[in-house]
Structure 1
Amino acid sequence: MAGWSGLKKFAHACRYVFSDAPAGLLSLSASQVVVPAHGSGTVTVTADLDRTSDKHSYSGRIAAAAAGSVLARTVVGVSTEDQPHHLVVNAKDRDGAPMYGWVNLLREGDPAGFYYSLIMGAGSIDVLLPEGTYSVWMWGEVRGTHGPSSLGMALLNAPEVTVEDDTVVNLDAATASEVKAVTPQETADAEVRVDYYRSLGDTSSVEDSLTLGTEYDSVWTQPTKKVRKGHLSVATRWRKQQPFLSVTSGKQSYDDLWIQPGAGLLPEGREDLNAVFAGAGNTADYAGLNVKGKIAVVRYGDTDDQVPAAVAAGAKLLLIVNDEYGRLRDAIRRTPLTVASLTRDEGEELISRLGKGPVRLHVESNPATEYLYDLVRRWDGAIPGNLTYQPKQRDLARVDVDFRDDPADEVDEYRFDISPYTNTKMGYTILSRAGRNRTDWVTADGVKWMSEANIARKTLQYAGERSYKAGSTTYEQWFGPIQRPRITNAIALPTRTGDNLQVQAPGWGDSGADHAGLAAYGQLEQSMALYQGDALVTQTDGPAIGVDLSPGRLPYRLVTTTERDASLYPYSTHTQTAWRFTSATAGSDTPAPLPLVQLDYTVNTDLTGRASRSAALTLTPSHLPTGPASTTIRSAGLDVSYDDGVTWSKEHPKQTADGWEIKLHAPSRAQYVTLRAQAQDKQGNSVEQTIVRAFGLK
């Protein structure tokens, strides 16, 4: 009801203003009311809930006016939402103190990808929620594994919470276990990521991922019971690599070192060095100290002063002790000096020892990464108490990686794992410090991977999706010849939807099998043309084409041509690839893959891209993952030219388990090898590819 009072007798006109309300939802008992002086008048508001549906709310106001002026307003609301209840989430860290972090809530029945995210500022949060079943999870900082000043990241969760009344959820990191991977060889974490996936009901689902910052030394989570509703999955992804720097003193290992960005690396090898404490690390602190060829230990300060001071004093290694929680990562100006940080607890312990007498430290440096581990461990349905992943070498796949770039290049690369729930690449490229060769050990059997490698302003290469078998060995090469157009599922695969055709054919795939090159060094040009029979349908500049085709099943020929300035890069100066295939009208909701045969080449070249004059060359044709089986390819051929395609030698390749193989017979004066390759499947789909100056000759 609404009432008004006044000093004079007025006739008030009453009306309600309601935004987006269904007609007839609210009604007033009278449109006018007379209010005597010093009296009151009453109008009753009635809501007809049959006029609205469940799970809606409306708000508005009732206005009373006299003589054209509004004299009173009353706010009203109607809701058919569920009765809200308080959900209180309390969180404690590993030491029982209130925990800060991010609290997330997923409700059964909500749309996919939708969830609530809240900041918990003082160990507790109270929210009003409609009734339902929720999944609650939280990310927050806890004590790490390297002393009271170290930091870890905890994933705390209550995967199934029923809210029918006011409800309290207690999350206690004291019950959490460390999630860790133990490798057969000594490693340090280069990247750690945790994925939390939860589904509830038919629609609500979310995958929430957190990549640990460098300040964190560990990750923790609580064990859970098996969920009764939906699906729960927690996965951890590690890139663990050979440590760049190891420092030990007897049984004491300073294993939480962090090389500072911009710092140099010690030459490969092992040696024992004396450590010297240089206080705040400024120039004045080195007065009277002999640190030449030794390890300078300082407390964290202004590195713009500390690094030059250590260089001037002749230090061989600078160790900076952090004065805050967690690891220290402070980008410094580029310097050849090796600069690494120690966490506060480990560093202060070392400073204490130095105050009592000389300390000699054993230092091991590995500036070029010889091995690493790309690992994924997933727990489905429930989170167990033991969260240690300790694979043997035989449980993993071995990948022998060969980088054919200029040693002066900076290579960014990564092996991305593919989420089984969102089918997306997870992770980001990081700077590689490998030399020519590196051995990678990879989680096998069930994990899908997709690799990427690039050199700034030179080349960008994407490998297609693949998985590995435990105990297998695979060879993967980057950046070498033979560069040519190559399509992979690392980009959009060629399809026909209805009568619309879409193709992307990157022109610069490198020496690795199943690599698509989106960029390459030098002045580049690429064009594409599509023919139906002999009639040109369309042509474009660039690596992509899109066009509407005539209805029905018809034969087509797709041609892409690339050109490159030979003065900037000597190989693959001209290529032409022609795919012949048949395509029919596809469903409007189900794109049909195009059966485009792809070609890979294997030849042993040196870092300058040159091969032996009698080298073996293998041609491996294949179909794209969504196309026909590669076993349907029935024939392949190779022609070779040693004069840029003026004359040709028809080869007779021998079919092997790896493809079709020939042996070169290069004349003594030949400098380059030009190739013309063909392959065809049982359905008549074929490819012919010509590569001028595919590689050089020694």
Structure 2
Amino acid sequence: MPTGLVRHFADRELASVRSEHSSTGTGQTGTRDSMVTAALPFTLQEYYSPDTPWESSFDQSTGEEYESSTRSVPKTYRRGQPVVERWNSGVFGPSFPRYPGEPAKWASRLGDTAAFDLWLLSDRGEGHYGQAANAESGTTALYRDGRPIAGYPWSGRSEFTLPPEEAAYRLHTESTRNGPMDLSTTVSADWTFRSGHVAGPGAGPLPLTAVRFAPALDDRNQASGGAGFLVPVYLQHTGGQAAVTEPVVQVSYDDGTTWRPAPLLPAGDHWLARLWHPAVGGFVSFKATAADRNGNTVDQTIIRAYRLK
């Protein structure tokens, strides 16, 4: 047998990642990369071979119930540059992270086939995309010039056959779950865009936008009530968008029964939504709309985005 097949590394020769895993309730467990399972919240100190793409995963369960699944796009870590990565931290909502080498991964058209891969429960972690495993109901439907083309009784991956002529489209998707510890119990989104035949050879991206919320929550996805609070708001694109104007954000403290404007403050490449949390606890919900200069729009709602304590 050949020799020299075993190599020994010191920590300093590897890339260091501290992974923090939040919970959304009590009695939950989390599993990382199908190898480590522990009660939530928990923290891992990880070491990776540097300068190599890595894909990671996280799954949350309560008892025997499998609740949600989160994945990460391939990431490369560098030696000597420690990273802190957060998993399962809200707000959970639609996301379109950049996937290396696949600019049309989430929404595409090739010829007269449109394909969508929609992940409606993505945590706030960079490059993460996620979905509910315990959704009670869901739907995905596509409309052309206001008329329905087809629909599916789930949220997630779907394909539609379209006429070759350019037209205006509206894509609607929604997911609902009602577990006692669930967050983002109802997530819905409507996108409008124009599209025509794509000759190829490769698929072209369809111009969808996701409005993302990244508040500083504790490791149980809570924020303090009775206080002012700033929520970072940013946009993710599937590709092909023109410049997007400032989004419009609304907030609700009664699960969407009433809404009020959330003023935005510019903060470089994103905005800060100014909120004032009520002192009675409960949940915070968000509505957001945005449009680019070509008229492509998004209108999304997230009910019970996070808890107030």
Q: Structure 2: which amino acid aligns with 1:466?
A: K
| Contact 2:230 2:274 survives alignment (8 Å) | yes
* 1:449 corresponds to which of 54, 57, 62: 54
Structure 1 counterpart of 2:224, which letter?
Answer: S
Q: How does 1:303-382 map to 2 (within 5 A)?
A: none
Is residue 620 of structure 1 aligned with residue 234 of structure 2?
yes
Task: Give unpaired runs (5+ residues) of structure 1.
Answer: 1-92, 94-172, 186-389, 415-428
CA offset digits 1:609-654 (Å, max 9, x no partner): 3212333211121123xx237x944422321111222322212212
Q: When the two structures are aligned, how many residues end up with a matched partner?
A: 296
- The answer to whether the 8 Å contact 2:68/2:133 transfers is yes
Q: What is aligned with 1:562? A: 175
From 216, 219, 234, the equivalent of 1:604 is: 216
Aligned equivalent of 2:308: 697
Residues 575, 408 of structure 1: CA spacing in aligned structure 2 closer, same or farther, 3 A cutoff? closer
Distance 1:436 1:399 in 2: 14
1:431 partnered with 2:36: yes
Counterpart pick for 1:655 among 263, 266, 276: 266
Does 1:581 pair with 2:187?
A: no
Of the candidates 54, 76, 88, which is equivalent to residue 467 of structure 1?
76
Alpha-carbon distance, 1:507 to partner: 3.0
- Once structures 1 and 2 are overlaid, which stretch shifts more, 430-439 or 590-599? 430-439
Deviation at 1:568, TM superposition (A): 3.0
CA distance in 2, matches of 1:571, 1:407: 13
Given that 1:496 and 1:586 are in contact with CA atoms closer than 8 Å, whether structure 2 keeps it comes out as yes
> Which of 15, 18, 22 in structure 2 is aligned with 1:404?
22
- What root-mean-square deviation, in Å, do the aligned CA atoms of Structure 1 and Structure 2 show? 3.0
SS of 2:181's equivalent in the other structure is coil
Q: Which residue of 1 aligns with 2:248?
A: 637
SS, match of residue 542 in structure 1: coil
Contact 2:209 2:298 in 1 (8 A): yes
CA shift for structure 1 position 697:
0.7
Paired residue type of 2:289: Q
| Contact 2:95/2:129 (8 A) holds in 1 | yes
Contact 2:207 2:237 in 1 (8 A): yes
Q: Does 1:480 align with 2:98?
A: no
Query: SS of the residue aligned with 1:508?
Result: coil
Change (3 A) 1:552 1:506: same
**Contact 1:529-1:560 at 8 Å conserved across structures:** yes
Q: Is this contact kept in 2: 1:494–1:593, CA < 8 A?
A: yes
Q: Percent identity?
A: 24
2:157 is equivalent to residue 549 of structure 1: no
| Alignment counterpart, residue 540 of structure 1, candidates 140, 152, 156 | 152
- Which AA in structure 2 matches 1:436? F
Alpha carbons of structure 1 residues 443 and 552: separation in structure 2 relative to 1, 3 Å: farther
- Give the TM-score of the pair, scaled to structure 1: 0.39
Structure 1 residue 681: Cα displacement: 3.2
Q: Name the CA shift for 1:588/1:675 in 2 (closer, same or farther; >3 Å).
A: same
Structure number with greater Rg is: 1
Alignment check: 8 A CA contact 2:90 2:214 kept: no
User: What SS is found at the alignment partner of 1:664?
Assistant: strand
Correspondence for 2:9: 182
Q: How far is 1:528 from its partner?
A: 1.0
Shift of 1:657: 4.0
More helix by share: 1
Give deviations 1:182-228, integer Å, cap 9, x for gaps.
Answer: 2236xxxxxxxxxxxxxxxxxxxxxxxxxxxxxxxxxxxxxxxxxxx
Give a deviation string over 1:529-577, Cα, whole Å, max 9, x none: 1122322222211123221112132221111112112x53342222211
Q: Is the 8 A contact 1:636 1:680 kept in 2?
A: yes
Give the one of 4, 15, 32 matched to 1:413. 32
AA aligned to 1:449 is W
Cα distance between partner residues in 1 of 2:85 and 2:292: 26
Q: Deviations over 1:352-392 (max 9, x none)?
A: xxxxxxxxxxxxxxxxxxxxxxxxxxxxxxxxxxxxxx45x
Task: Give, as a single letter, the amino acid of the residue that structure 1 aligns with 2:88.
Answer: F
